[in-house]
Structure 1
Amino acid sequence: MSTTVSGQRDKHSLGYAIRSGLAGGLAGCVAKTAVAPLDRVKILFQASNPDFQKYAGSWTGAFRAGLAIYRDAGTRGLLQGHSATLLRIFPYAGIKFMAYDQWRAVLIPSKEQETNLRRFTAGALAGMTSVTFTYPLELIRVRMAFHSRVTDQPARARPSFFRAMTDIYREGAVSQTCAASTAGSAHIFHRFPILKFYRGFTVTMVGMIPYAGTAFLTWDFLRAHFYPVRDDTSIRPGILANLAIGAISGAIAQTVSYPLEVTRRRMQVGGITRPDRWLGWGETIRAIYASAGVRGFYVGLSVGYLKIIPMNGISFAVWQGCKWLMDL
């Protein structure tokens, strides 16, 4: 029993938190790099990029969209926006996994207090903590991935990280006539320019609750079911087991939270379609439903499965492997 108490105490130490965050950050980078091309295609589908709507709605469409990107811009096109992804994913994944360890230790201090609700809550709080600190990087990444031949002005190159960041900051610099018609949101953007980097933030936070909560709940539940702790000892899951459990967790979480993710993507690129003002939840949801009905909230889901299943599996497996290497 002394080992268990010591382990719980150690989880609250600064050294444990730093190593846990480092393990999570590395896991996120490895997983995101493995699925970067699929991530680009999914963003183009979700945000209704006019170049790629003809491919949306099928598994083969995702493959054909990837080929179209490759023919147009080569491997660099498939990885467009990935630099911003890596800048975002290391702190995002690091904070998420570190926060999960910390929240779990607080909410589940002993085996007797472990419930599915506490598992879900720990995961949801970890995801929300991470998003709060890293959301501007996520928005920049989405903007970089969204641009294509139609959305780009012909004379301009594909956006770099700093150009995308600058474009977001300059959004809202509209004429007096236009500003007068949208005085409320334009005034907010003028007074608080940082808000331009938080388009879609509220729907992201709400969507993070079912996504991260379900992912960590499923992860914890399956590990506890197949690898239970008995008398303070347990069999450590292998790499394949962690890959499988992580993949299942990701698939279930993606299904539960996907409509909110589509809404978030549309709000994030709202600065391109409506740079003068803030697009709200209601307007965005109505626009999606008007254009494609209920199916509009699931556009790109097939690509989402192709991406999230290997990504989550790799992420959880690498996280556990790094924790083992770091003696956590």
Structure 2
Amino acid sequence: MNNVDSSNEKIDASKGVRKKHELSAILASMASGAVAGALAKTTIAPLDRTKIIFQTSHMKFTIKSAMNVLSNTVKEHGVLSLWRGNSATMARIIPYAAIQFAAFEQLKKILSPDSRDSSAFRRFVCGSLAGMIAAFFTYPLDLVRARMAVTQRGRYDGLSDAFQKIHFEEGMQKFFRGFIPTMLGIVPYAGVSFFTYESCKSVYRKHHNDNEPSSMHRLVFGAGAGFIGQSTTYPLDIVRRRMQTDGTQGVVNPEYRTIVSTMRSVVHNEGFTSGLYKGLSMNWIKGPIAVGISFMTYDFVHERLKKFINAEG
């Protein structure tokens, strides 16, 4: 009888250790994702703000005009104004990246429990689902961040003030304007990004005796993933931003009610390429930088946290 009790106690203890280790692994993924997202977005915040300004206006985009927007912003409002709305970005990107990377790691374990290199299809599915989960839980923060980026100083006195004003002036439903194009865009974007990055690492290991790629290689792989992912879904990003920021200048555009009507309006008024792909060249600069930094930082921090957890365990 004592032997049975002792055996049960060992099993219970083993389960407890395993659950503790699994929880630590999830927290490590979330912490690594939070750091990666915050660093990446802060680095490219001025370019991101400039891109949103063009996406939500009828201004024709050129590199020269983008530089003019940047310089005029600095002259009129100071250097720190280039990071206006970054508090909302951080409030969104930290939980978004934490949830996305943690979800991706858990989905990999579920779909490919015994393999470090899952199939191409599974990489895409894991990335897509992780992006959808993260976007679902953080979408209102994305909308507020876009609003703060395109409005003048004084319109919103910080993140909480923006939430309150949008809620009382436009209603709760406004927080989910553009939600559907976001979810439609995140499937190919997150799927392609994670698929490309993980595939590059897998190919590297196969050609380098199963050694892991260096941080510089990961930065390049991530940049390529960002370039491909954002290029494939950019028109939906335009639609999302138009729907999110509609009404910020005091005029509500009735054509920005649905995805189709918004896309039709943009094409009719600004042209197909110059409208739906406005600012894409800037995205080819900031997107790869942000995604490259994000993936590289995540792997760097995550690997060290895992070593620490294993050492403690």
Q: Which category of TM-score, normalised to the shorter sequence, fits these structures?
A: 0.7 to 0.9
Q: Percent identity?
A: 36
Q: Distance in 1 between matches of 2:155 and 2:115?
A: 56
Superposition pairs of residues 166-205 of structure 1, within 5 angstroms: 166-172=164-170, 193-205=171-183
Picking from 279, 297, 307, the partner of 1:318 is 297
Match of 2:4? none
User: Which has the larger share of helix?
Assistant: 2
The ranges of structure 1 where at least 4 consecutive aligned residues each deviate by more than 6 angstroms after the TM superposition are: 9-12, 275-278
Kept after mapping to 2: 8 A contact 1:25/1:94? yes
Any stretches of 5+ residues in structure 2 without a counterpart? 1-17, 308-313
Q: Distance in 1 between matches of 2:221 and 2:20?
A: 23
TM-score normalised to structure 1 length? 0.82
Match of 1:27? 36
Match of 1:132? 136
Picking from 43, 46, 49, the partner of 1:40 is 49
Match of 2:77? 73
Q: AA paired with 1:269?
A: T
Match of 1:93? 97
| Mapped pair 1:252 → 2:228 | yes
Q: Distance in 2 between matches of 1:228 and 1:207?
A: 32
Q: Distance in 2 between matches of 1:262 and 1:12?
A: 42
Q: Distance in 2 between matches of 1:271 and 1:17?
A: 40
Q: Distance in 2 between matches of 1:63 and 1:11?
A: 51
Match of 2:124? 120
Match of 2:245? 269
Compute the displacement of 1:199 (Å): 0.8
| Mapped pair 1:219 → 2:197 | yes
Alignment CA distance shift 1:62-1:278 (3 Å): closer
Q: AA paired with 2:146?
A: V
Q: Distance in 2 between matches of 1:113 and 1:36?
A: 33
Picking from 219, 230, 236, the partner of 2:212 is 236
Q: Name the SS of the counterpart of 1:248 in structure 2.
A: helix
After TM superposition, the structure 1 stretch with the greater mean CA deviation from structure 2, 286-295 or 34-43, is 286-295
Aligned residue pair count? 287
Kept after mapping to 1: 8 A contact 2:36/2:97? yes
Q: Distance in 2 between matches of 1:221 and 1:33?
A: 27
Q: Distance in 1 between matches of 2:33 and 2:150?
A: 27
Match of 1:104? 108
Compute the displacement of 1:111 (Å): 3.3
After TM superposition, the structure 1 stretch with the greater mean CA deviation from structure 2, 234-243 or 272-281, is 272-281
Picking from 156, 161, 164, the partner of 2:162 is 164
Q: Distance in 2 between matches of 1:326 and 1:15?
A: 9
Q: Distance in 2 between matches of 1:14 and 1:112?
A: 20
Any stretches of 5+ residues in structure 1 without a counterpart? 1-8, 173-192
Q: Distance in 1 between matches of 2:162 and 2:253?
A: 13
Q: Distance in 2 between matches of 1:11 and 1:260?
A: 41
